Structure 1
Amino acid sequence: MDNHTLLSSFGKWISPINVKKLSEQIMKTGQDRYTKKFTTYTYIKLLLLSHLEEVESLHAMSDTLFDDDIQQELGLDSISVSQLSRKHRAVDSNLLATIFYQLVDQIRHSQPGRQVMPVKVIDSSTIPLNLTNHPWATFRKTKGGVKLHLRLVFMEDGASYPEYANITPANEHDRTQLEVLVDDKEATYVFDRGYMDYERFDRMTDDGYFFVSRLKKNSITRTIKSYDVEQDSTILSDEMVAVGGPTKRMDNLFRLIEVDDSKGNRLRLITNRFDLKASEISDMYRSRWTIELFFKWLKQHVKIKQFYGQSETAIINQIFSALIVYCLHVLIQLNTKSKKTILQISRFLKAKLWKDCRHWLRRISGIP
């Protein structure tokens, strides 16, 4: 890190955002054609700050500009609620998505050679919305919502980061997203039994994609070959099996591993990887907890349960900006080689938000 920077901690935190590329994209789309002060980049910075500070509403967001430091950072001394509302509706969601994927690319290149074959965890989380205020987000007769489908990279040191996100109506079934979320033959994908699909599992195997999942309780299997179970492990059985009955079955043979989880529940894990130990397959499936923790973090530490706008664009922008917040934390964690958790990094950042960033960087790096 640059020990001579004069940036505030907030300025350092958002510095990985490629402002030049963002400006070029804004110019191409004409996003700021009739804008004088409240530019798209200013809006993005205010939105990220609002996530960080967990600002409750547009009125509260407008009131934050009473702070001199925020005024200086944004180049604004005031902004009305109506202006904020219009901006939420107007900013192209592709701009926020592009920032997110650029940060993901930086994270990927910040840790070269850390994994030969990474584990990528797939899951989704439904975000409920009031159907009265969001009539476009029909889910059930009396409920509205959207679903965030996510691919998370699980790193060897236990850390993780979101790599790909797709936002759909809440009634979109998880299985339909495997075609979108699985695209890397150099990874092993881990997902729950909600993604179980005989035809798709066969197709993934034929196309050279690796996966670990849970087999549904009612799935019929026929043992082709049994493998020795590792001693002093939680593995109960390890077999090569044919899956399915007379009318519906998989063309390929798969590996079925039975194991007890930490609560004593028996899990039937299905995979097309025969080159690893059964305990390694079990450990891969256990990495699913990272995506559950990630969704929990989103719902508890950024503004993802309450939304600042009602339009579809406003909702998508807020979700992508929440993902950007997390990626910015991960980049600081990687670049400083910090042992602090994402939550600690966020807390220290808020405590030193407008101070010289060297104070914040020393704290998260463990330097006295």
Structure 2
Amino acid sequence: MDKNTLKSSFSKWLTPINSKKLQKQVTNLSQDKYTKKLTTEAYIKLMLYAQIHETEGLQALSDALLNVDFQKAVGLKSISASQLSRKNNEMDPAILAELFLDLVYQIRGYHNKNLRGLPLKIIDSSTLPLNLTHYKWAKFRKTKAGVKLHLRLVFMDKDTVYPDKAVITTAKEHDRNQLEVLVDDKDAMYVFDRGYMDYERFDRMTDDGYFFVSRLKKNSVTREVLTFSVPSDSNILSDKMVYIGSTQKRCENIFRLLEVRDTKGNILRLITNRFDLKPEEISDIYRSRWAIELFFKWLKQHVEIKHFYGMSETALQNQIYIALITYCLHVLIQLETKSRKSLLRITRWLKAALWKPAYIWLHRFESKTVP
């Protein structure tokens, strides 16, 4: 009998989660030492269900356990909203962070099989606004509160991207402060926007052997060293070797500066420390940065991080990590089935077939009649 005949679609979706490794970490951190009912594993399943259905509150999640299939999947007949809230506030975010990284490791296994050249890693952040009255710890501005998700996204191709490192801070934290944390792999090509502009770090990254492409601010001073010829029929307007910065404050290394016209006719100034690539390749690499904008848009529209289930820093971090785990589980099923279907469509099918045998859900990936 096929292993997916009796397994539900929800259970199949959760397969990449290593229960033994999870339980080992739970034991090491004494997370469930005094737990009588709501174990960490049950909590994770409940929260992942909430992400799939974009459940707006813990009471609604508690009510969802009226479903017998859901009870069997979680191993609970009922749980109160107050118990869920307590667990959400007591759960160590390190457990979910480790689970997220374990899923990333599995995705990377698929990625490395088809990798040619340096992997492309895009860095950016997104601010999640909060009510200042309820989240006074999340400092941002005088009248606003918020947290910021600093993220590194791996670009496999236009259909498959995945987050492989995340840092959660208050919204007041400047993006530049996280650049060194997110740049830690010399066998990669990094892409980030002008919000990360820092001459000293650019020098340090170059000296340490890290490659990057970024966008130069309009008011940045440059001094030309050498000019390369560019094709007259391309979107590349100029290609130069330059020093960046004024005499008082400038980079010690020489960089490559490209002026590129985008699809809207705007002129972009791109800075990089790669001299071995064609200017069109540099332009295409920077253009891939749109992928992280789409990722943040997907995250805010299709998982539940618009409404937070708790007001503590711990509760928020847990919910954000659960959202990232949800995304990674979608990517893993996409890679396992070698599907070119969008993650949104995969999510809709999962939601519709959640308690049906997994083969019914998986069959949709093979159907050629579905657009």
Q: Do Structure 1 and Structure 2 share a fold, with TM-score over 0.5?
A: yes
Tell me, in whole angstroms, the C-alpha distance in 1 between the residues paired with 2:308 and 2:69: 25
Given that 1:3 and 1:358 are in contact with CA atoms closer than 8 Å, whether structure 2 keeps it comes out as no
Distance 2:270 2:251 in 1: 16
1:34 aligns with 34
Q: Name 2:235's counterpart in structure 1.
A: 234
**69-78 vs 295-304, which moves further:** 69-78
**RMSD of Structure 2 on Structure 1 (CA):** 1.2
Q: Distance in 2 between the 1:3 and 1:335 partners?
A: 15
Give the aligned partner of residue 293 of structure 1. 294
User: What does 1:186-205 align with in structure 2 at a 5 Å threshold?
Assistant: 186-205=187-206
Segment drifting more, 221-230 vs 188-197: 221-230
Native 8 Å contact 2:309 2:315 kept in 1: yes
Q: What residue is the counterpart of 2:176 in the other structure?
A: 175
Write the deviation string for residues 139-172 of structure 1: whole angstroms up to 9, x where unpaired: 1112111110000000135421001000011111
Residue aligning to 1:23: 23
Give the structure 2 partner of residue 345 of structure 1. Answer: 346
1: distance between equivalents of 2:232 and 2:353? Answer: 51
The DSSP-based 3-state class of the residue aligned with 2:123 is strand
Q: Counterpart amino acid of 1:72?
A: K
Taking structure 1 as the reference length, the TM-score comes to 0.97
Offset of residue 233 of structure 1:
1.6
Q: CA deviation at 1:134?
A: 1.4
1:13 to partner: Cα distance: 0.3
- Partner of 2:242: helix, strand, or coil? strand
Q: Report the Cα offset of residue 113 of structure 1.
A: 3.6
Distance (Å, rounded) in 2 between the aligned partners of 1:85 and 1:4: 34
1:70 aligns with 2:64: no
Please give the secondary structure, in 1, of the residue aligned with 2:65.
helix
Query: With structure 2 as the length reference, what TM-score do the two structures score?
Result: 0.96
Structure 2 CA distance, aligned partners of 1:51 and 1:302? Answer: 5
Identity among equivalent pairs (%): 64
Closer, same or farther: CA 3–82 of 1 in aligned 2, 3 Å: closer
SS across alignment from 2:341: coil
1:51 aligns with 2:51: yes
Secondary structure of 1:258's match?
strand
Contact 2:4–2:357 (Cα < 8 Å) also in 1: no
User: What's the offset of the Cα at 1:5?
Assistant: 4.5
Which residue type is aligned with residue 230 of structure 1? P
Partners of 1:33 and 1:143 in 2: CA distance = 38
- Please report how far the alpha carbon of residue 232 of structure 1 lies from its aligned counterpart in structure 2 after TM superposition: 2.7
User: Residue 4 of structure 1: CA displacement?
Assistant: 4.6
Q: Distance in 1 between matches of 2:55 and 2:333?
A: 23
Distance 1:99 1:264 in 2: 43
User: In 1, are the aligned partners of 2:241 and 2:254 still within 8 Å (CA)?
Assistant: yes
Question: Quick check: 1:348–1:364 contact (8 Å CA) kept in 2?
Answer: no
Deviations along 1:217-263, one digit per CA (max 9) or x if unpaired, are 01111211111213432111111111111111110110000011111
Which consecutive aligned stretches of 4+ in structure 1 deviate over 4 angstroms post-superposition?
Answer: 2-5
The equivalent of 1:81 in structure 2 is: 81
| 1:54-133 alignment, distance < 5 Å | 54-115=54-115, 116-133=117-134
Work out whether 1:323 is the aligned partner of 2:324: yes
**What is the aligned partner in structure 2 of residue 163 from structure 1?**
164
Summarize deviations over 1:153-196 as a string: whole Å, max 9, x none. Answer: 00135421001000011111001111100011111100000000
Aligned letter for 2:221? I
What is the match of residue 277 of structure 1? 278
Distance 1:49 1:4 in 2: 20
For the residue of structure 2 that corresponds to 1:359, the secondary structure is: helix
Any stretches of 5+ residues in structure 1 without a counterpart?
A: none
Supply the distance in 1 between the matched residues of 2:366 and 2:295 (Cα, whole angstroms): 23
The aligned residue for residue 6 of structure 1 is 6
Q: Letter of the aligned partner of 1:19 in structure 2?
A: S
Cα distance in structure 2, aligned partners of 1:345 and 1:276: 37
* CA deviation profile, 1:5-54 (whole Å, cap 9, x unmatched): 52100000011001001011111111111222211110000000001000
One-letter identity of the residue aligned with 1:117: L
Offset of 1:81 from its aligned partner? 1.2
Aligned residue number for residue 355 of structure 2: 354
For the 8 Å contact 1:339–1:365, the answer to whether it is kept is no
1:256 partner SS: strand
Higher mean displacement: 229-238 or 319-328? 229-238
Q: Which amino acid aligns with 1:51?
A: Q
Instruction: Give the equivalent residue in structure 1 for 2:310.
Output: 309
SS of 1:233's equivalent in the other structure is coil
